[in-house]
Amino acid sequence: MAPDIIISYDRKIDKFVNFPLGFAGPSISDVPFFDLRNSKKEVEVNCSQIISDVKDIAFTIFVDENCILSYKVILKSANYTVKSDILHKVNIRIPVYNQEQTSIFGDFYHLIKDFNPNVTPFSYSVEIIKHLKNDIVYDKFKIAEKFINLK
């Protein structure tokens, strides 16, 4: 079965836009940002977004550990509130390495080539890899720091 193709109407440029496959949505800087690092039970973010005739409302969340995020959407505008009865659940897994599946000439290939060229039996841990080649280890704060004032 072929994946759905989403063709959105961009009001800013007044035309339909077909995003490429793998597109994850609007830019982080264009949508509300929820920082959920402190395991808050309820978070509210003020934003200005036109939502008339819109099927999807985009937002970005930031967590610093694997979790199952459960949420309901509540939209507020002046004295008007719209509450969703649907409980959405998202299983969030933070990667350990920048490249999670190895390939020929990939990150782990070069790690072994540089530090174990004879391919003798070995075992490794995240700490060992950080020590040998730190840039392989995923930095969960790098992207968030780019878009928000993360502390």
pLDDT in tens, 76-106: 877 888 888 899 898 888 888 877 666 677 8
Coil, strand or helix at 150: coil
**132-135, long-range: CB < 8 A, 24+ apart:** 133/107, 135/98
pLDDT higher than threshold 50 for residue 4: no
Please state the φ and ψ torsions of residue 114, each to the nearest 5 degrees: -80, -35
pLDDT greater than 70 at residue 19: no
Q: Note the pLDDT of residue 1.
A: 43
Confidence of residue 28 (pLDDT cuts 50, 70, 90): low
CA distances from 60 to 26, 27, 116, 117, 120 (A): 9, 9, 40, 42, 44
Confidence band of 65 (pLDDT split at 50, 70, 90) = confident
User: From the centroid of its chain, how far is CA 32?
Assistant: 13
Hunting for tokens 């109407």 — which residue is that? 9
In 3D space, the residue among 43, 47, 25 whose CA is nearest the CA of residue 34 turns out to be 43
